[in-house]
Amino acid sequence: MAKIAEMTQLSPTMSEGKIVRWLKKSGDSVSPGEIIAEVETDKAVMEMEAFETGVILEILAQEGSLLPVGAPVAIIGKSGEDISALVETARKSIPSKKESAPSVGTVAAPSVSEKKAEARPQESISPSPQEIESEVSISASRKESKRHQGGLIKASPLAKNLALQNGIDLGEVVGSGPDGRILKRDILAFQETGGGKKGSSFVKPQDRKIELTGMRKTIATRLAHSTSTIPHFYLTLEIDAYPIDNLRNSINKDLKLEGQNKISVNDLILKACSLCLREVPEVNSSWREDHILQHGRVDIGVAVSIEGGLITPYVRDADRKSVVEISHEIKELASRARERKLKPGEYTDGTFTVSNLGMFGISSFTAVINEPEAAILAVGSLVEKAVIKDDNLVAGKTLTVTLSCDHRVVDGATGARFLSAFREFTEHPLRLLTG
C-alpha cells in the first residue's frame, strides 16, 4: 500500500527544511535507510532517508521548496498503484507559503526565464556587501526599460562615485560592460552628450527586503530566549598574553619543521578553558529547572561564522586532548561547518562555549550564553601596549576575556575562580602541555 513520505526532522532544532536536491526520481526503487534527498536545515545540508520499501511513485515537492517538518514530499508504494487519493490528500496538506511554493507532481525542470533569473547575481535575496556597494536601485519610473527590469543597475564603484559627484542618474546611462555593467567610460560618454548636471539631485537607493533563512530564524529564536530567560552577568579580565603568544610561536616553529599545521592562540585558550572546567566544575553545568546538572564530560564549543549565520561545533572531551589534537579538530569541524556538512551530534549538547572575535580586531565584547550551558567566554584580540613589569615600563601584550554567566548556576565568586584559574594557565602556559 502506497504511503506518503514526509519531511523528516533531521536535527533537534529543525522546524522546516529546504529540498536542495533529489537523489532519487519517480520510478526509482528505495528501501529503508536509503538516501533519497539532500535537505538544508537550520544548521547544515543533510541527507534524508526513506522509511519504506517500494518505488517512488510521485515527487510532491520541487527542489528549492521550503517545507515544515511533517509536510509530504513524496509517495512511495508498489509500481502501478492508484495514488490519486493520496495525491489529493497531499495537495491539501502542503502549506501555502510564499517562500516554499511547493507543487504536487514530479520535479519540473526550470524554465528558461528561471535559469536567466538564477544567472543574475544582482537579484539574489542575500547579496554580499561587495554586491550591495556595486549596485544602485533605480526609481519605479525606469522599470519599463528591459535593461532595468530587475530593479537594480550594475555599476563599477568608480562609475558609481563619478555619477554621484556629477548628479547623474544611473538609470539614464547605458552600460558597455559585461551584462550591461556601467563603467567609468560610460559616465564620461554620457556627460559628453550633455547628460547630468553637477549639483542636481541623485536617486536615493531603495530599501531592500532580505528573506529570513531557516538558520537566521533559529538563531533569532534561541538568542531571544536565552537573553529573556537567563539572568546574565559578566566578568571581565585582562591577562598578560606575552607568555601564551611566545609558547604558540615556539610550538609553531617545531610544527613547521615537521610539516604540520600551525596552532593558534585560540587553540591554547580552548585547552586552558578545558582545564579550568575541571578545576571549577560548577561552571561546567546546566540549569534544569528543578536541579543543576554538573557535567562529567568537558565538551567545548567554538563559535564559527558561516554564510547566513553562526554555528557552534563541539570539541568532545577537550580536557583529554592535546593542544595539537584540539587544533586539528577545530580546523576540521570549522571546514565542514562552512560546507554545511556537520552532523547534529557535532553541534549540539555541549557544556561550554568559546567565542573569539580577536581576528577582527575586537579588543573586548560580551557574548550571549549558548543555552542550556551556564557560561560562555568571549575572547578579544591580542593588544600590544606598554605594561609595568617589576616596576619597569616595558612593551607587552594583553588579552581581554569576558565570562558571561547564568546567575542561576554560577555565582560571582565561582565565575571569578574560573577566571583566576584561566589566568594561571595562560600566564604559565607550559601547564597546558602537561594537563
Question: Which residues participate in catalysis according to the annotation?
Answer: 407
Query: Among candidates 187, 184, 175, 183, which has minimal Cα distance to 148?
Result: 175
Query: CA 259, CA 23: separation in Å to the nearest integer?
Result: 40
Which among 376, 372, 312 is positioned nearest to 344, based on CA atoms? 312
Nearest Cα to Cα of residue 366 among 270, 235, 219: 235
**Given strand 300-302, what is the order of strands in its sheet?**
232-240, 392-406, 375-389, 352-356, 300-302, 314-315
Report whether 266 contacts 354 (CB < 8 A). yes
Tracing cell 497531499 back to the chain, one arrives at 90
| C-alpha cell, 201 | 539631485
Beta bridge partners of 236: 402
Distance between CA atoms of 218 and 411, rounded to whole angstroms? Answer: 29
Residues 6+ apart with CB under 8 A from 2: 54, 57, 75, 76, 77, 78, 81, 83, 86
* Calpha distance 204→156 (Å, rounded): 17
